[in-house]
Structure 1
Amino acid sequence: MPPNSEPLRKLGFLTIGLFDEAVPRLGHESTLDIIELGERLGFDSAWVRHRHLQYGVSSPVAVLAAASQRTSRIELGTAVIPLGWENPLRLAEDLATVDILSGGRLNPGVSVGPPMRYDQVKQALYPDTADIEDFSYDRVRRLLDFVRGEPATGFTGQEGFEVFSDRVQPHAQGIGDRMWYGGASLRSARWAGEHGMNFLTSSVVKAEESEDFAEIQLSHIRTFRAHHPDGDHARVSQGLVVIPTDTASPEQRAKYEEYAAKRTPRTATAQGPARMMFARDLVGTSAEIAERLYSHAAFREINEVAFALPFTFDHDDYVQILTDIATKLGPALGWQAAP
């Protein structure tokens, strides 16, 4: 660890949870096994990513409900739930329920915008309201109000044998402080800060002022904190793809390097009309990866990470990667495993 560098305080990981369409249970069980392994290795958090109408976790809240019953300490997060697919009131009920079941360990991460491939799915998703649905930040604001205990209706009390609450039940105390926004733009960073959320920044950002990934990500972090009530203490988690090879077999190393090489060309310039910039996958020994992270301007600004696992690897690969992260890379970054 370089002199004067702040040690990494929280170490997490993110998985997509792929499965075979013919035997979907195996993929889901693998995801749960990986989360259990993460807790045994001392990770602070485990995060799952959604995949709607694909062969990955489509219901992260349900998967994390199961994970909450197989673990006792590790924090459980979503990175992220796209709210264009969700009703904020119903989602607030699900999040609160899982948070209660987990003993207050849920960290919901969300984002806004139209659902991916909206023209193809809108008739199935919103057959009567597709053209008037609001996919703005207001959808997040509604969710925040509900999970923070603001009234959802004007009625409370008893009607016959039924007893009604005017706010979402169960009310999960504290979950409002554990809401995260997954942002890739300066506008999102500012909005998340102004509304007192935590901020997830990943390996994808929008090239608005530069085409240097680290500089862009750093500007998002500083913009977020400049508009957050907690200022420089506002929580930010960085989610780059890291693949340590310390204990990897020669075959695994070759696979990892080939995977990263295929994805590297997209990192050279901004991609598509939205001008998205992708970070390079970090492959190498833990010492090599740590050195590259310490030279990363945005990494030097944060003390929490949720490293993303590659999407298409085998279960044994994830075991090796997570073990190396927890036992070699984490300590090289100044992190200490949870007891």
Structure 2
Amino acid sequence: MKKIGFLSFGHWTPSPQSQTRSAGDALLQSIDLAVAAEELGVDGAYFRVHHFARQLASPFPLLAAVGAKTSRIEIGTAVIDMRYENPLYMAEDAGAADLIAGGRLQLGISRGSPEQVIDGWRHFGYQPSEGETESDMARRHAEVLLDVLRGEGFAEPNPRPMFPNPPGLLRLEPHSAGLRERIWWGASSNATAVWAAKLGMNLQSSTLKDDETGLPFHVQQADQIRAYREAWKAAGHMREPRVSVSRSIFALVDDRDRMYFGGGNKQEDQIGFIDDKTRAIFGRSYAAAPDVLVEQLAKDEAIAEADTLLLTVPNQLGVEYNAHVIEAILKHVAPALGWR
């Protein structure tokens, strides 16, 4: 059995070819797609966060709204860029969204990807400390978030407060018990996957990874997952970790599918540089008739290693079509692979 969710970047553009022409469209359609996905039996609704872009940005109002409109589906991010985050304010927002959702939040965080503007996090008021890189800063913010999510008091109370305080040091409120164990780290390298395991975070691995061995993408990703699990076991954590991978997978079952995705583009891994120093490998997309997809996906080692699969969706094609894309995988592909 494998949990299956969708992952939306929430793209929008005023183009007449888009079904999602404004930020409002992107947000409201994200809620509608989560509701539709829950009705289909999907396990998770996940959203990507990018700043300075015509995409989903501040995630917590959206997560809270999805939580209020649904009752069962997991609600998450993949991922929030921690270079931009105040971890204490984030803990309050996350606690509130998780309480609204009844403890269904699965919060993916990471160092983030190259952004639309130069050093965008500086505009948010953050900069690395002396001798620290922006990646170090993101990990430092993550460690602070993990610490305060434990729910332990750390702030000295005012002796003359506006409202009566409980005894002892004060913690951030609202606190949602259990959220600390539902934090995921989006790792692009094996080393950061191991670091996440030591800190007790679940692992998210996307369709982009540092090219560390020259092997096919899915093999490198599977190796990363195994290194993560070994580090988790060595750290002595008491619970089982969760691991997700994301893929673009389209079952070609009608003329619309063949029109949109039947061209055969991106059927192989791609190599590129995400910055001046980092050579990355980008995983292939899958688009084929269901029986062909089953054969192809059975050879994907990383999907086999993961307990959760996130299907990236073309959100600008509208809620109805994206629900169809998800349903086609659930109906025609997942059962044959033993995922359902």
Indicate how the Cα distance of structure 1 residues 71 and 311 shifts in structure 2: closer, same or farther if over 3 A, else same: closer
Indicate how the Cα distance of structure 1 residues 74 and 288 shifts in structure 2: closer, same or farther if over 3 A, else same: same
Q: Distance in 1 between matches of 2:112 and 2:319?
A: 32
Q: Which amino acid aligns with 1:135?
A: M
The yes-or-no answer on 1:100 pairing with 2:99 is yes
The match for 1:322 is: 326
User: Which of 243, 247, 250 does residue 240 from structure 1 map onto?
Assistant: 247
Contact map agreement 2:52 2:117 (CA 8 A) in 1:
no
Q: Which amino acid aligns with 1:107?
A: Q
Contact map agreement 2:222 2:301 (CA 8 A) in 1:
yes
Indicate how the Cα distance of structure 1 residues 122 and 68 shifts in structure 2: closer, same or farther if over 3 A, else same: closer
SS in 1 for 2:227: helix
The match for 2:230 is: 226
Contact map agreement 1:156 1:166 (CA 8 A) in 2:
yes
Q: Distance in 2 between matches of 1:317 and 1:271?
A: 33
Q: Which amino acid aligns with 1:11?
A: I
TM-score, with structure 1 as normaliser: 0.86
Deviation at 1:48, TM superposition (A): 0.6
Contact map agreement 1:157 1:163 (CA 8 A) in 2:
no
Matches within 5 A, 1:1-339: 8-20=1-13, 23-112=22-111, 116-117=115-116, 119=118, 121-126=120-125, 130=127, 132=129, 135-153=137-155, 155-156=156-157, 159-164=160-165, 166-228=170-232, 229-230=236-237, 233-246=240-253, 248=254, 250-258=255-263, 261=265, 263-264=266-267, 267-272=269-274, 273-310=277-314, 312-336=316-340
SS in 2 for 1:227: helix
Contact map agreement 2:60 2:93 (CA 8 A) in 1:
yes
Deviation at 1:12, TM superposition (A): 1.1
Aligned CA RMSD, in angstroms, stands at: 2.4
Deviation at 1:311, TM superposition (A): 5.6
Q: Which amino acid aligns with 2:258?
A: R
Deviation at 1:16, TM superposition (A): 1.3
The match for 1:4 is: none
Q: Distance in 1 between matches of 2:239 and 2:218?
A: 18
Number of corresponding residues: 321
Indicate how the Cα distance of structure 1 residues 11 and 287 shifts in structure 2: closer, same or farther if over 3 A, else same: same
TM-score, with structure 2 as normaliser: 0.86
Q: Which amino acid aligns with 1:330?
A: A
SS in 2 for 1:27: helix
Contact map agreement 1:50 1:58 (CA 8 A) in 2:
yes
Deviation at 1:91, TM superposition (A): 0.4
Contact map agreement 1:50 1:81 (CA 8 A) in 2:
yes
Indicate how the Cα distance of structure 1 residues 323 and 176 shifts in structure 2: closer, same or farther if over 3 A, else same: same
Q: Distance in 2 between matches of 1:34 and 1:174?
A: 26
Deviation at 1:325, TM superposition (A): 1.9
Contact map agreement 1:107 1:178 (CA 8 A) in 2:
yes
The gaps in structure 2 that reach 5 residues or longer are: 15-20
The gaps in structure 1 that reach 5 residues or longer are: 1-7
SS in 2 for 1:269: strand
**Percent of residue pairs bearing the same amino acid type:** 28
Describe the superposition over 1:35-89 as per-residue Cα deviations: whole angstroms up to 9, x where unpaired. 0011001111110111211111111221111111110110100100000111001
